[in-house]
Chain A
Amino acid sequence: MDEALTARTITIQGHQGDEIEAYLAEPAGTGQFGGVVVIHHMPGYDSATKEMVRRFAAHGYNAICPNLHYREAPGASPDDASAATRAAGGVPDDRLVGDVAAAADHLRQLKTANGKVGVIGHCSGGRQAFLAACTLQLDAAVDCYGAFVVGEPPAESGMKVRPVLDKAPELSCPLLGLFGVEDRFPSPDQVKELDEELTRLGKQHEFHSYDDAGHAFFAVDRPSYRVHAANDGWEKVFDFFGRYVAS
C-alpha cells in the first residue's frame, strides 16, 4: 500500500435534507474499499479529526467526517462553531443519527465502495458512534472512550446528554471499545457495565482498556496522549475494520 489518497471538502444532504459540509478522503487508484464514518469530537470538525480521516484513506478506506456543527456556524472556524453549537444546546441525538446516515450513504454510493461502512468516534463521538450503530444498519462500530453510553451525568451538571444503554438491543454490528483505565467518564465500572450488558444480549463486541491511560489517549495534540495506548489502539481499529469493513 502506497498510502496515496485524495481528500476534499464536499457537501452532503444531512438529517432532514439539510446541506452540511463533510470532509472526504479516498484512497488513490482503483479497487473496492470499505467506508468509515468518522464522528468528530466535541471541540469540533477540526484538523486533528481530518487527520484521522486521511489516515483511514491511507489505509485503504473511503472515509468521511460530517461537520456536525455546520448548521450553527457555516464557514466558521471549528472552535467557534463548537462554541456556537454548545451555546445552542449541543448536537441533538436524532440530528446526529441523520447526519451519520447521510455520510454512510455517501460512502456506499462511491464508485469504489465495497458496500460496507463502519463508524468510529472519540470522546462525545464515542457515545454517538454507539448510538448510530444502534439506530442504523452498519457493519462495524468503534467507541473510543465515549462517556454516558452508560450512567447518568452527575445530577448537578445539568447536562442534557442522556445514556443510551437502553438502545443496546438494537446494536446492528460488532462493536470495538477502547478505553483508558484512568478515565472517569466512562469509568472502568461503566465500561464493565456496558461489556456485561452486551454479553447478556449476545452482541458481538471486543473491549480493551489501557493502563496508564485516561480520556482522549488518542489525541496527539493534547497532554492526555498516551503513545502505547494510541499505537495499540490504532492497530486494533485497523484489525477490526479489516475484518468487518474492508473485506
Chain B
Amino acid sequence: MCTYLTEQRAIEGSGKGSTGWFALTDAAVYVDHPVHAQYEHTVNIDFANPAKGPSARVAVELTEESALALVDAIREALAAAPPGLASASAASGASSRSGRVPA
C-alpha cells in the first residue's frame, strides 16, 4: 500500500546526515514501503531541514514493534531525567537557542 499519510511536526535539534551535522527543523512520520528495510511496510521517520535542501535528511525505517519500543524508550529516558532538562527553554534559555544549534 502506498500511502500519502504523513504526520509532520516542527522540531528543534540536530541530526547527522551524509555530509555531517545539521540543524533539524521538520520531522515526518509515515507508514509505507521502506527504501532499504526488508519488510513490505515500515514506520518511516524523516528528520529534515528543507531549507538546506532535500538531502538534508536523516531517515530511519523501523518495524512497528521497533517504533513502539522507541516511543517507550524516549518516554522512559525523559521520565528518568529531571523534568525539563532537555527542554528547548532549559539551561541557556530560549533567547540563545538559535546559537546552540549547529549551522
Contacts and interface: CB of A to CB of B under 8 A. Distances in A.
Interface of A: 41-43, 46, 72-73, 76-77, 79-84, 86-87, 89-90, 123-124, 147, 153, 157-161, 184-185, 214-216, 222-224
B74 interface: no
B54 A84 contact: yes
Contacts of B57: 80, 83-84
A73 B50 CA distance: 10
Contact of B38 (A80, A81, A222): A222
B96 interface: no
A72 B28 CA distance: 16
A185 B8 CA distance: 24
Interface of B: 1-6, 8, 26, 28, 30, 32-33, 35, 38-40, 46, 48, 50, 53-55, 57, 59
27 contacts: A41-B33, A42-B2, A42-B32, A43-B33, A46-B35, A72-B54, A73-B53, A76-B55, A77-B55, A79-B59, A80-B54, A80-B57, A82-B35, A83-B54, A83-B57, A84-B54, A86-B28, A87-B6, A87-B48, A87-B50, A123-B33, A153-B3, A159-B5, A184-B1, A185-B2, A214-B40, A222-B33
Contacts, number: 75
Residue of B3, B35, B38 most packed against chain A (CB within 10 A): B3
Given A42-B32, A86-B6, A147-B2, 12 more contacts: A41-B2, A42-B2, A72-B54, A73-B54, A81-B54, A87-B26, A157-B3, A159-B5, A184-B1, A185-B2, A215-B1, A222-B33
Contact of B8 (A82, A87, A216, A223): A87
A29 B14 CA distance: 53
Contacts of B4: 86, 89-90, 159-161
A212 B25 CA distance: 43
B54 to A, nearest CB: 4
B28 to A, nearest CB: 5
A47 to B, nearest CB: 11
B46 A83 contact: yes
B64 to A, nearest CB: 15
Contacts of A160: 4
Nearest to A44: B35
B33 A42 contact: yes
A157 B4 CA distance: 9
A124 B5 contact: no
A157 B54 contact: no
Contacts of A87: 6, 8, 26, 28, 46, 48, 50
B61 to A, nearest CB: 10
Listed from nearest, the 3 A-B pairs whose CB atoms lie closest are A73-B54, A185-B1, A124-B2
B5 A157 contact: yes
B31 to A, nearest CB: 9
Contacts of B46: 83, 87
A44 B50 CA distance: 18
B40 A216 contact: yes
Nearest to A125: B2
Residue of A84, A124, A158, A184 most packed against chain B (CB within 10 A): A84
